[in-house]
Amino acid sequence: MPSAPADPPPSTGRLSIGRRTRAAALIGCLLAVLLVGCQRDYAVELPDSTNAQVEPALAAAALRDLVSAVRAGDLEAAAALAPADDAAAQELLRGMVANAVAIGVEDFSLRYVADLGGVSAEGGWRATVDVAWSFEDFHTTPALTEVVVSFARSDAGLAVTGIGGHGRRSPLWLTAGALEVRRGPQTLVVVDADAATADRYDEMARAAVPVVHEVLPQWHPRLVVEVPRDPEALAAALDVAVHEYAQVAAVTAAADGSTSRSAPVHVFVNPRVFGALGDEGAQVVLSHEAVHVATQAPFAPLPLWLLEGFADYVALRDVDLPLTTTAGQIAAQVRADGVPEELPGPDEFATNRQHLGAAYEAAWLACTTIAAHAGEEALVELYTRASAGEPVEDLLVEVIGWTYEDLVAAWQQRLRTLP
């Protein structure tokens, strides 16, 4: 539930190889002079150079044509921008337009930035391209990121052969081909899977909205859920290493990786982990992430125990589950290692930690302890004002009536009583 290529080899190696090569050439020439009386200059025959060049103007024109096809919803005009013999590229571009129509993409633009590595032997090249987009009714400001686009020569001039990958962010709707899209007035679900799977995510997204709205009635629900086909596609969509979210079922993040509070925030699902959950557990996860969307959690300057604990408090508030289920992992950790001295922080919430689930449960218990002492409205006020930048320790005294030490002591006592 938690809500960035290698350095080139040092040039000294290349220099030393060059010196050895020149030395070998001199020795070879000297031997030739001594043995056969060679009087000619030593010459190295170089391969013919290619005339192929990167052509930014043609690439920019192809991108303009692609933007026009997306805005017009013209699948075949987009497919015509791929090579005539590249069915995969044609389907990718058709899918992009189909996704744009189903989702309601607007404010779409592509801008050529720079080539990456020059022209290949086959005459193609890759370039970085700025892309902007927004989802109608779900974004208040456009998302903006940089993707990699691949180009190649074709009979028609210049073709687009691929979008995304190569170590850059790869927005799902833009780079994954045709997707299953479910669009409602409050939820938008974009899934790289079959229709039945998309229906399941759509149902859970719709169910998450009232769960959050019950505690946060000021939220105007605009929940976007993206489900890539596998963890590798999730990593590409988020521009992270594959292992970073290997243990988590879903993560809430800015759609374009921005740190601006105005950036659109989406829920991104790890289908491998999420798919292993039962219906009730999966719903809790999606409701938890919906809290993060509602509160713009990726940009909130909150301690993680409050950020994650509050999201679980809302998601579990009306779920009838025993403590052996909702706090079983932290209870086992307490039995094995004793009561923690501090509330869970960044180390405990690192996504590669073995006991990550216990950290979430511990944070949830801290928030339930606060609510039991001062009431739900006080917990919501603490979270809301702390999200706006007020110091948590000061708010604990003012709103909850506890010092931070009081909270820790009460939380520790709660841990000791777990079944």
Number of residues that this document lists for the chain: 419
Cβ–Cβ contacts within 10 Å for residue 3, how many?
Answer: 23
- State whether 152 and 221 are in the same domain: no
Q: Residue 221 domain-assigned?
A: yes
CA 243, CA 231: separation in Å to the nearest integer? Answer: 8
Question: What percentage of the chain reaches a pLDDT higher than 70?
Answer: 88
4-56 residue pLDDT tens: 333 333 333 332 333 333 333 332 332 232 223 333 333 333 333 345 688 99
- State which of 141, 170, 199 marks the end of a domain: 170
- State whether 330 and 418 are in the same domain: yes
CA 179, CA 187: separation in Å to the nearest integer? Answer: 16
**pLDDT of amino acid 1:** 60
**pLDDT of amino acid 52:** 65
DSSP string, 347-382: TTT-TT-TTHHHHHHHHHHHHHHHHHHH-HHHHHHH
- State whether 346 and 246 are in the same domain: no
- State whether 227 and 317 are in the same domain: no
- State which of 112, 139, 170 marks the end of a domain: 170
28-39 residue pLDDT tens: 332 232 223 333
Q: Residue 4 domain-assigned?
A: no
Q: Residue 12 domain-assigned?
A: no
Q: Residue 379 domain-assigned?
A: yes
Share the mean pLDDT of the chain: 89
- State whether 313 and 294 are in the same domain: no
- State which of 299, 333, 363 marks the end of a domain: 299
Of 388, 154, 107, the residue nearest 256 (C-alpha): 107
Residue 279 pLDDT grade (very low, low, confident, very high; cuts 50, 70, 90)? very high
Rg of the chain's alpha carbons, rounded to an integer? 28
- State whether 240 and 228 are in the same domain: yes
Pairing status of strand 223-227 against strand 250-254? unpaired
Which residues form the domain of 279? 179-299
141-190 residue pLDDT tens: 999 999 999 999 887 789 999 999 998 999 999 999 999 999 999 999 99
Q: Residue 14 domain-assigned?
A: no
- State whether 233 and 335 are in the same domain: no
Assigned token pair, 280: 């009730």
- State whether 370 and 321 are in the same domain: yes
Of 290, 310, 118, the residue nearest 208 (C-alpha): 290
- State whether 388 and 373 are in the same domain: yes
Torsion angle (degrees, nearest 10) of CA 51, 57, 63, 65? -110
Of 185, 204, 189, the residue nearest 277 (C-alpha): 204
Amino acid at 88: A
Sheet holding 223-227, edge to edge: 180-183, 187-191, 223-227, 265-269, 250-254
- State whether 285 and 342 are in the same domain: no
C-alpha distances in Å from residue 301, one per residue of 208, 292, 307, 313:
24, 13, 9, 19
**pLDDT of amino acid 154:** 82
Assigned token pair, 35: 């043995």
Assigned token pair, 193: 């899977």
Residue 372 pLDDT grade (very low, low, confident, very high; cuts 50, 70, 90)? very high
Say which CATH number the domain at 72 has: 3.10.450.50
- State whether 239 and 156 are in the same domain: no
Assigned token pair, 29: 């020439």
> Which one has a higher pLDDT value, 60 or 47?
60
226-263 residue pLDDT tens: 999 999 999 999 999 999 999 999 999 999 999 999 99
Q: Residue 25 domain-assigned?
A: no
Pairing status of strand 180-183 against strand 187-191? antiparallel
Number of domains in the chain: 3
- State whether 223 and 251 are in the same domain: yes
